[in-house]
């Protein structure tokens, strides 16, 4: 009897046998990333998010070429749904994403200075979150300017490639005859990189490209004055700031809204806003600040946008100062916003961050290649035509002979060979002659056609001369740019105002209100509004694990805060610069909020108030110094001060010392060393210096290898129990200190952490 096997095959509910799961194999994380993640990342970078030198992303290029292929360059508009459906042959994505791309390229959406699609219907607005109509309701066709982006596309100006399923051909780039990469704004987020290209005025960009062709050392900042946005606005012009952007392709500048004051209606009318925001975002922010009581001058804010364009109206209360209010609005709302530049584009399939000069040089080199290819294509066609005309000229010598050869040839297939033999011409020429209609076999027709020979010969020589001369290619590009500027250039929409001409914001821009500020050990800041009852205890505050509150002060919203860092710098901010939070929220991370440098850490925060009093600095080397807070007060609204204190030795503690009142010292400190010794000093014993970088004088004599470990406020309540701390008080400094008793180390009266 055969031995029965113990193993069984798994069966499903319907009785069918199921295969055992394949064994799981270990795979190195690097292999997983290389095989699975990297292809996806490269696809997003190259085929989706980053524009190429023609100024288009793949989705935009496929959409525009589809419309060109549909014959929408001329004629009537078609439903947008037809365009979206046809684009799917090149762009295999959902109709919603294709339609969103189409919307942004339309004249109606106002996202571009020079739209590529002539639209009819509701396409939304760049400056609003208003939804656009469905594609079945809207119509579109290519705008006239598209003549400049498709010129030469049928003359081999660019390469073509198969679409995703190999059923069609599509261009890899569009032969744009102007630097569209700088004229059309573009934003893209890829994997590990992004791009954000602002738009520039077409006329200025064309002039810059022409000047760069003539003089490679031209100062482009004198030609391309500044970015220009389709939404207009007012750009705060800082030449050095823009020069850095033009050179590196990175940086930021500020744009603010354009407004006017209507005295009759006592309101501010805003007609243009920054490109980076929307009218709904502005209204939402103003409404929020009104609710918090920060804009008591405003009685109402409303959107009055209509067919004539955007308009945001802010009604003022009687007696309100519109200039002061608009300054507050610029400071607190998106009516003034920064545009972060990141000129990251694809050059030969590789992402590169380039300045404007480099971008224009790359564009000129690429455009030169497009022009050469187009000229060579035309040259080949002209040479082919000339070759045929040479054959026709031979026929002119004896037309009757040609007719006789054709009439006497019995077999049709022998007509071409007999003509070749009879007139000493090649097969192509003979085929052309054989196809001429009988009615055209006359002297007048042949003379008319062959008269083109001389002109063709001159044109061919001219094209060959251009192809052999880069200078003439550049001249041709410059001429095209001049024609484009003449036909399509528009005046600047974004006005310029020099930063020196911008009035500084008033010291008190809002009415102060009481707040409670908290700072945690890990650097998280909270601004809380005190309630009728007391605020929650520290244990009720939301904090990260192992984090705790180190500073808790009651002040007002206009109080200036000084944040000292371990790089001897101080960052200044008002309490009002931070969001009002609830105790249940984590808080704002100070290094990120204030833009600390890499590797820079927060030491502590002081409340400057009216800049009376002093800051006490204690250093690891045993020195200490008292610096007046007035040293940190600045007339200009500076947000960062370097050389805020001495960098000779790391700071162990920084404390606020109020002005002295009476004979009693302002405050006392317990200073502890790594040797296990401590002293108690009062603020009167510290050396007062007026210079911020003063190194101070020794208060603690340290043996070699030891340093100050911690400094903390010491509070003496006058009780009998506190008398035992008198041994740490030293009348003469510096002092070697007194050894700490175990009881003193563990005493609840002294906190050594700060």
Q: Which two tokens stand for residue 196?
A: 């954000």
Angle CA(12)–CA(14)–CA(15) in degrees, nearest 5? 65
Interatomic CA distance for residues 157 and 149, integer angstroms: 11
DSSP state of 35: I
- HEC profile of 407-447: HHCCCHHHHHHHHHHHHCCCHHHHHHHHCCCHHHCCHHHHH
The H-assigned helical ranges of 217-355 are 239-248, 279-291, 322-332
Beta bridge partners of 655: 616
Among 509, 545, 505, 510, which Cα is nearest to 524's?
Answer: 545
Whether 470 contacts 459, CB under 8 Å = no
C-alpha distances out from residue 41 to 35, 48, 163, 193, 194, Å: 11, 10, 20, 10, 12
Interatomic CA distance for residues 360 and 29, integer angstroms: 41
- Residue owning tokens 């200078």: 471
C-alpha distances out from residue 384 to 361, 372, 421, Å: 35, 18, 21
Phi, psi of 749, rounded to the nearest 5 degrees? -75, -20
259 belongs to the catalytic site:
no
3-state secondary structure of 682: strand
Sign of CA dihedral 284, 286, 290, 292: positive
Among 209, 144, 157, which Cα is nearest to 182's?
Answer: 209
Sign of CA dihedral 188, 189, 195, 198: positive
Interatomic CA distance for residues 531 and 514, integer angstroms: 10
Among 137, 164, 531, 548, the one annotated catalytic: 137
Sheet of 708-714: strand order equals 708-714, 668-673, 677-682, 738-739
- HEC profile of 52-86: ECCCCCHHHHHHHHHHHHCCCCCCCCEEHHHHHHH
Q: Tell me how far apart the terminal alpha carbons of the chain are, to the nearest angstrom.
A: 86
Phi, psi of 196, rounded to the nearest 5 degrees? -150, 100
Phi, psi of 20, rounded to the nearest 5 degrees? -65, 145
Among 300, 297, 302, 301, which Cα is nearest to 317's?
Answer: 297
Cβ-based neighbour number of residue 52 at 10 Å: 20
Q: Which residues are the active-site residues?
A: 137
């Amino acid at each position: 009897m055969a031995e029965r096997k113990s193993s069984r095959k798994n069966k499903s509910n319907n009785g069918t046998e199921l295969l055992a799961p394949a064994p799981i194999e270990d795979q190195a994380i690097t292999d997983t990333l290389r095989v699975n993640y990297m292809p996806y990342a490269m696809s997003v970078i190259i085929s989706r998010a980053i524009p190429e030198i023609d100024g288009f992303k793949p989705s935009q290029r496929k959409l525009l070429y589809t419309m060109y292929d549909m014959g929408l360059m001329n004629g009537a508009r078609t439903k947008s749904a037809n365009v979206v459906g046809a684009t799917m042959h090149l762009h295999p994505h959902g109709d919603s994403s294709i339609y969103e791309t189409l919307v942004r390229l339309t004249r109606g959406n106002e996202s571009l200075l020079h739209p590529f699609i002539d639209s009819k219907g509701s396409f939304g607005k760049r400056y609003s979150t208003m939804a656009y109509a469905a594609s079945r309701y809207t119509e579109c066709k290519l705008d006239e300017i598209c003549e400049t982006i498709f010129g030469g596309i049928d003359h081999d100006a660019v390469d073509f490639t198969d679409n995703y399923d190999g059923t069609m051909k599509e261009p890899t780039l569009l032969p744009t005859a102007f630097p569209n990469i700088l004229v059309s704004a573009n934003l893209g987020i890829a994997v590990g990189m992004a791009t954000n290209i602002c738009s520039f005025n077409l006329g200025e960009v064309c002039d810059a490209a022409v000047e760069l062709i003539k003089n490679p050392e031209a100062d482009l900042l004198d030609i391309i004055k500044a970015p220009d946005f389709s939404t207009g606005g007012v750009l705060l012009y800082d030449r050095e700031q823009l020069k850095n952007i033009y050179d590196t392709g990175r940086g930021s500048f500020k744009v603010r809204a354009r407004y006017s004051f209507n005295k009759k209606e006592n309101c501010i009318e805003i007609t243009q806003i920054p490109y980076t925001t929307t009218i709904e975002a502005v209204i939402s922010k103003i409404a929020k600040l009104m609710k918090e009581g920060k804009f008591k001058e405003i009685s109402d804010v409303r959107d009055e946008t209509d067919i004539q364009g955007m308009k945001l109206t802010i009604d003022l209360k009687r007696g309100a100062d519109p200039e002061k209010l608009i300054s507050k609005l610029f400071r607190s709302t998106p009516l003034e916003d920064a545009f972060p530049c990141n000129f990251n584009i694809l050059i030969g399939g590789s992402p590169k961050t380039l300045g404007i000069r480099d971008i224009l040089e790359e564009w000129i080199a690429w455009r030169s290649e497009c022009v050469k290819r187009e000229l060579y294509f035309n040259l080949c066609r002209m040479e082919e035509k000339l070759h045929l005309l040479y054959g026709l000229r031979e026929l002119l010598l004896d037309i009757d002979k040609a007719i006789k050869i054709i009439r006497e040839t019995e077999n049709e297939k022998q007509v071409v060979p007999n003509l070749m033999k009879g007139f000493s011409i090649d097969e192509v020429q003979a085929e052309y002659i054989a196809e001429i209609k009988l009615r055209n076999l006359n002297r007048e027709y042949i003379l008319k056609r062959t008269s083109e020979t001389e002109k063709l010969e001159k044109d061919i020589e001219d094209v060959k001369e251009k192809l052999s001369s880069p200078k003439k290619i550049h001249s041709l590009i410059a001429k095209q740019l001049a024609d484009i500027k003449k036909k399509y250039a528009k005046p600047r929409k974004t006005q310029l105002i020099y930063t020196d001409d911008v009035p500084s914001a008033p010291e008190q821009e809002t009415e102060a209100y009481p707040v409670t500020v908290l700072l945690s050990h890990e650097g998280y800041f909270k601004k809380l509004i005190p309630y009728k009852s007391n605020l929650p205890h520290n244990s009720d505050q939301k904090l990260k694990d192992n984090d705790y509150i180190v500073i808790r002060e009651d002040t007002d919203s206009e109080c200036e805060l000084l944040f000292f860092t371990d790089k001897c710098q101080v960052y200044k901010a008002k309490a009002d610069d931070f969001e009002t939070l609830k105790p249940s929220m984590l808080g704002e991370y100070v290094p990120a909020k204030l833009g600390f440098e890499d590797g820079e850490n927060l030491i502590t925060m002081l409340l400057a108030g009216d800049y009376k009093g002093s800051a006490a600095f204690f250093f690891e080397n045993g020195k200490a110094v008292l610096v007046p807070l007035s040293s940190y007060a600045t007339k200009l609204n500076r947000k960062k001060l370097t050389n805020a204190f001495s960098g000779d030795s790391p700071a162990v503690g920084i404390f606020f010392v109020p002005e002295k009142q009476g004979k009693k010292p302002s405050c006392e400190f317990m200073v502890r060393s790594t040797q296990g010794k401590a002293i108690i000093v009062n603020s009167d014993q510290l050396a007062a210096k007026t210079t911020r970088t003063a190194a101070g004088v020794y208060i603690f004599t340290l043996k070699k290898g030891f340093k100050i470990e911690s400094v903390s406020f010491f509070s003496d309540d006058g009780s009998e129990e506190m008398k035992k701390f008198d041994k740490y008080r030293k009348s003469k400094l510096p002092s070697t200190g007194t050894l700490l008793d175990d009881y003193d180390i563990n005493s609840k009266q002294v906190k050594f952490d700060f």
